[in-house]
C-alpha cells in the first residue's frame, strides 16, 4: 500500500507491506493482519524509518471509524455494538468512545474466550457484556470486524450508525442487502469499496449502484456534502486507505524524532562503492 500525502505545511511518503492470513492465529499463533511501513523522505526517497505497520493498521482503522461516527452517528450515542472480538474490536471501541459518550457496550463473537477477554479489558471503563449479533445491531453505533462472506447483520436500529470494517476483499459481505439498501451509505474510496468493500457483493450483483452511495467520507469532512446523523440508518464502508497509513506514520515518526524514541539504525549505505 504505497502513498504520498501533501498536507500543505508538510508532506510524507510511505509504503506498507501488509498481509491478511485468516488462518494465522490457529496455525501459527500470529495475527491475521500484520504489516511493516517504510517511511521515506518524499524529496530524496531516503528511508527515514521502519515502523510497526500492524499497530498502525489497527489504530488508523479505528480512527477512520471514529471520524465516520463523529459525522454520521447521533450526537448522544451511548451504546455501541461490536461484531467480532478480535484485535480490531479493541481500537474500534477506544476510538469511537473518543467522539461519542459511550456507556454501554455489547460484543458478539463465536469465540467465548475472545468475548471474555474483551469484556475483561474494558469492564473498568464501560458497562460491557457479551451478547447476540441482534443485540449489538440495536445499539446506537455498530462496528463489524469479521471476515465473513455471508451477511450476519440482518437488521439494525432505526438510527444505528454502522462501521462496516471487515470486508477487505472481493466476496466478503457482513451486512445484509436489505440493510444497505435502506441506509445512507458513505464510503472511504469508490474504487476500493466497489471492488472489495462491504458493498462489493451487492454492487457486482446489481443490487446497489452509484445512486445508492451518498458520498465519500472525505467529501463530508471538507464540507462538499453534509453529515447525515439525523436521517436514520447510516453505513460507513471502510476498506482502509494507504494515505491513512502515511498520515499515521508521519505522526509516529515526528514524535519519535522529537522524543528520541526507537532504535537508530542505518537503512542505506550512502558511501560510494
Q: What is the DSSP letter of 153?
A: B
Helices (H) and strands (E) in the chain, counts: 10, 12
Give the Cα separation of 140 and 78 in Å (integer): 7
Quick check: 28 and 260 in contact, CB under 8 A? no
The three-point CA angle 87-93-94 to 5° equals: 95
Evaluated on CA atoms 148, 192, 62, 93, the torsion sign reads negative
- Establish whether 59 is a catalytic residue: no
Quick check: 57 and 50 in contact, CB under 8 A? no
Burial state string for 91-124 with b = 16 or more CB within 10 A and e = fewer than 16? bbbbbbbebbebeebbbbbeeeebbeebbeebee
As to burial, measured by CB atoms within 10 angstroms (0-12 exposed, 13-18 middle, 19+ buried), residue 258 is exposed
Quick check: 212 and 185 in contact, CB under 8 A? yes
Q: Give the Cβ contact number of residue 28 at 10 Å.
A: 9
Query: Looking at the annotation, which residues are catalytic?
Result: 16
Amino acid at each position: 500500500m504505497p502513498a504520498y500525502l501533501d498536507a500543505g505545511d508538510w508532506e510524507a511518503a510511505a509504503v506498507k507491506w501488509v498481509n491478511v492470513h485468516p488462518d494465522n492465529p490457529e496455525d501459527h499463533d500470529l495475527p491475521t493482519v500484520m504489516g511493516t511501513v517504510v517511511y521515506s523522505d518524499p524529496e530524496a526517497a531516503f528511508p527515514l524509518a521502519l515502523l510497526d505497520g500492524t499497530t498502525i493498521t489497527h489504530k488508523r482503522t479505528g480512527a477512520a471509524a471514529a471520524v465516520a461516527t463523529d459525522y454520521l452517528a447521533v450526537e448522544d450515542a451511548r451504546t455501541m455494538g461490536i461484531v467480532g472480538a478480535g484485535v480490531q474490536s479493541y481500537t474500534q471501541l477506544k476510538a469511537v468512545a473518543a467522539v461519542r459518550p459511550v456507556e454501554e457496550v455489547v460484543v458478539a463473537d463465536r469465540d467465548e474466550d475472545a468475548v471474555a477477554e474483551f469484556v475483561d479489558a474494558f469492564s473498568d471503563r464501560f458497562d460491557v457484556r457479551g451478547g447476540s449479533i441482534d443485540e449489538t445491531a440495536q445499539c446506537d453505533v455498530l462496528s463489524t470486524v469479521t471476515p465473513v462472506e455471508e451477511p450476519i447483520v440482518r437488521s439494525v436500529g432505526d438510527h444505528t450508525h454502522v462501521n462496516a470494517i471487515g470486508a477487505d476483499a472481493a466476496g466478503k459481505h457482513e451486512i445484509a442487502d436489505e440493510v444497505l439498501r435502506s441506509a445512507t451509505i458513505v464510503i472511504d474510496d469508490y474504487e476500493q469499496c466497489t471492488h472489495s468493500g462491504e458493498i462489493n457483493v451487492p454492487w457486482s450483483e446489481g443490487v446497489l449502484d452509484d445512486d445508492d452511495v451518498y458520498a465519500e467520507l472525505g467529501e463530508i469532512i471538507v464540507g462538499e456534502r453534509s453529515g447525515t446523523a439525523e436521517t436514520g440508518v447510516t453505513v460507513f464502508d471502510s476498506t482502509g486507505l494507504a494515505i491513512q497509513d502515511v498520515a499515521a506514520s508521519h505522526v509516529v515518526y515526528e514524535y519519535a524524532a522529537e522524543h528520541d524514541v526507537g532504535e537508530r539504525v542505518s537503512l542505506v549505505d550512502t558511501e560510494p562503492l
